[in-house]
Chain A
Amino acid sequence: MRKFISITLISISSLFVFNTAYAGKLVIESWRNDDADAWNNAIIPAFNAKYPDIEVIFQTTIPVQYAGSMNAKLEGGTAGDLITCIPFDQSLKLFNRGWLDSLNSLGGLDNYPQVAKDAWSTDDGSDLFCVPMASVSHGFMYNKEIFAELGLSIPKTESEFFATLDKIKDDGNYTPLAIGTADTWATAIMGWQNVGPNYWAGEKGRKAIITGEEKFTDQHYVDLLTSLQRWSNYMADGYQTQTYPDSQNLFTLGMAAIYPTGSWEIFTFSQNADFEFSAFPPYTQDGQTDCYIDDHTDIGIGLNSASKNKAEAKIFLEWLTSAEFAEIFANEVPGFFPLHTHSINVNDPVAKEFISWKDTCDTTIRNSSHIVGRGEPNLDGVIYEVVSSVINGTMTPEEGAAKTEASLANWYEPHQ
């Protein structure tokens, strides 16, 4: 009996041993719990095939808590060896606090284009602190079976898009747009950052906001919010309580025709949906000739300055720059597009569809991320609230545009 108790106590106490940094073992901190299988079953084994002595553990935190908990863990010295990096200012802050190492001396950094490195470099470009990993694209996914049943074709312009939605609504059997406003971040990212680049002309508009040449009160931002407001006519009744997982389920259960989203859903959707789905690019404004795709540098990975296994960690990071990793990652986690310059074969048809848009359209990144995302109140947070309120009808597009501009002008000199 006494033996039994002691064994129980030991096994209970072992539950409380955190996976923090200690010798002989690399712990990766990430918010991508959806990818845990890919890491555990494909990526880490491939790495271990080459470096069998380095044990790698993939540890996740839920996405909305990631930034906060990573801050606390790094400050308290309990974070893992490798830190998955959010792009731009969030990670720059960690570097400025001295919590991430500079990776300038790492081999294999030539395998990335400059735009990929920009997301994790200091403003003057002198230090790179995270190895770029992957980007995600925005677009609309649609249920092919519903489109075939109703005889719909893929909409290209704004008026075609709403005409398509009207047809689905008239049929009455399916929710035209699977999106709600309860998770404000999801609404803003799938709406504003999705079709937005077509309104502000991609990189040109993004840079004009940073330099102050354009303001959020300019007509094209009001037009964008007006267009998003029209979405509310095509959402499910009571969309104000519909959360992001609700929308995902609505689409994967085959109850909705179109789902405004991003390429990161491909991986989970191809496992959950038992119908054929594909994607079409963000609609353009009527009469617009060029097109823009948001191809956001989304994931990088950095080295915790307090790590006790820096030598092993650097071996791992260098391996991440290789074509081998890029190919495994692109196919194990379809929808995350490796930022490497290696040419890679992607097998997933929906992921291929997303990639193909980049041939005809210019790419850009989210306009709230770089430089304008570092003040108080946080620009992303304001956009989340504004977009959801405009769709809920509690704010007009003009009021929303004015609120966004005012919050940026509060701290950002070029807009004052």
Chain B
Amino acid sequence: MKKKFPYHIIVFLFPACFIYTIFMIFPLFDTLRISFYTQDLMGSNLDNTTGVRTFTGINNYRILFFDELWSYHFWNALKNNTYFFILHVSIQTPIGLLIAAFLSSKELKFKGTYRTLIFLPAMMSIVIVGYIFNLILSNLWGIPQTLLGAVGLENLYQPWLGLKETALITISLISIWQFVGIPMMLFYAALLNIPDEVLEASKIDGSNGITTFWYIKLPLIMPTVGLMVILTYVGNFNAFDLIFAIRGLYAGPEFSTDLMGTFFYRTFFGFQHQLGNPTMGATVASATFGIILIGVLVYLFAFQKRITRYQY
């Protein structure tokens, strides 16, 4: 007997596919399309109806990667963004894991309080976080001078947010402080999922707390760690708001805090006297998309497939 075509699948898939197509897939491909065009910024030959943009093939990408004035900003943003990501993965993930490990231990009291307090900054508006840290680290009204002065170390104070060498690290640490609660929550949930039988068995076999963590718990939550890394990767390469709130769109000093997001915004929408350039903006956006895509593919094929998943 011929099986009836499963129409209900189409019906159920339709709303999600429809919305996803209109708001995600179409804009994505349209951005890719626009990145192959160019337009006159001063608008002197534009009549606002047709022929606004002319096709230039991959010329925009050539300019972005190789023309000195553009490529400097592109590679600079990419370098900064990579650094931003490495700092997040190497600091945020271990700290999140450590806190989660402490929280999941049976002896700890006031777990709920710690959990809430550590997660709280993640719920705060980035604008507020940026504003608060701008004030905290201000050379005029800030507090590090006073705190360091109290222990006789006032010479250690530097205007960290204003120095080329330290601005990006400072902003990364602010971002890590704010969002460390998210890996903590994910790891915590994963740790709670580990069945007690496994842990009890390890105890009977003579494992102590540290060896249990390294040889039992960590391998079991490795898929979550991988997921967290890729989420951080996507989030970091889309980051924009914290830089915007703290340093504005020139991502100063001297573009040392410029990320792909701020570079894109400055290009596409313009800033102060700089006129917006939609076609180059689309090129930057497409390049960012490519970078994220490559990262996600590497994760999928090189990492996720090799992770052992344990059934319990």
Contacts and interface: CB of A to CB of B under 8 A. Distances in A.
Contacts of A185: 250, 272
B44 interface: yes
Interface in A7-44: none
A104 interface: no
Contact of B272 (A180, A380, A389): A380
Contacts of A250: 140
A246 B271 contact: no
A90 B255 CA distance: 24
A68, A92, A241, A389 — which one has the most chain B CB atoms within 10 A of its CB? A241
Nearest to B277: A376
B46 interface: yes
Interface in B117-135: 134
Interface in A69-98: 71-72, 86, 89-90, 92-93, 96-98
Interface in B248-298: 248-250, 252-255, 269-277
Given A68-B270, A236-B139, A394-B164, A410 B253 contact: no
Nearest to A377: B69
A71 B140 contact: no
Nearest to A389: B254
A190 interface: no
Contacts of A86: 273
A241 B46 contact: no
Interface of B is mostly: loop
A239 B46 contact: no
A243 interface: yes
Given A93-B41, A182-B162, A394-B253, A64 B275 contact: no
Nearest to A64: B272
B159 A241 contact: yes
Given A97-B48, A240-B162, A407-B69, A373 B273 contact: yes
Contact of B250 (A184, A373, A394): A184
Given A376-B69, A394-B164, A71 B270 contact: yes
A184 B276 contact: no
Contacts of B21: none
B28 to A, nearest CB: 20
A250 B44 CA distance: 45
B273 A381 contact: yes
A111 to B, nearest CB: 28
A183 B273 CA distance: 14
Nearest to B45: A96
Of B48, B140, B253, B272, the most chain A CB neighbours within 10 A belong to B140
Contacts of B269: 68, 71-72
Contacts of B162: 180-182, 238-242, 392
B304 interface: no
Main secondary structure of the interface of A (DSSP, over half): helix
A200 B284 CA distance: 38
Interface string A176-199: 000011111100000000000000
A405 interface: no
A381 B252 contact: no
Contact of A240 (B134, B249, B253): B253
A90 B273 contact: yes
> Is the interface on chain A under 10, 10 to 19, 20 to 34, or 35 or more residues?
35 or more
B212 interface: no
Contacts of A243: 134
A36 to B, nearest CB: 21
Interface in B145-179: 157-164
B82 interface: no
Contacts of A246: 138-141
A264 B175 CA distance: 36
Given A96-B42, A238-B139, A238-B157, A378 B273 contact: yes
Contacts of A385: 250, 252, 254-255
Contacts of A384: 250
A376 B39 CA distance: 13
Contacts of B159: 237-242
Contacts of A374: 41-42, 275
A182 B170 CA distance: 15
Interface string A356-396: 00000000000000000110111011001100110010100
Contacts of A64: 248-249, 271-272
Given A238-B158, A385-B254, A394-B164, A67 B273 contact: yes
B48 A98 contact: yes
B43 interface: yes
Contacts of A96: 42-44, 46
A388 B162 CA distance: 11
A385 B44 CA distance: 28
B69 A236 contact: no
Given A238-B162, A385-B250, A378 B275 contact: yes
Contact of B270 (A67, A98, A237): A67
B254 A241 contact: no
Contacts of B254: 385, 388-389, 394
A381 B274 contact: yes
Contacts of A236: 139-140
A93 B157 contact: no
Nearest to B157: A238
Nearest to A178: B140
Interface string A224-252: 00000000000011111111001001100
Contact of A93 (B42, B158, B272): B42
Nearest to A256: B140
B276 A68 contact: yes
Contacts of A241: 134, 137-139, 159-162
Interface of B: 41-44, 46-48, 69, 134, 137-141, 157-164, 247-250, 252-255, 269-277
17 contacts: A64-B271, A67-B271, A86-B273, A96-B44, A181-B162, A181-B253, A183-B248, A236-B140, A238-B159, A240-B161, A240-B163, A241-B134, A241-B139, A242-B159, A376-B69, A381-B250, A407-B69
List the 7 shortest-distance A-B pairs measured between CB atoms, nearest first: A240-B162, A238-B139, A238-B159, A241-B162, A241-B159, A96-B43, A380-B273
Interface of A: 64, 67-68, 71-72, 86, 89-90, 92-93, 96-98, 180-185, 236-243, 246, 249-250, 373-374, 376-378, 380-381, 384-385, 388-389, 392, 394, 407, 410
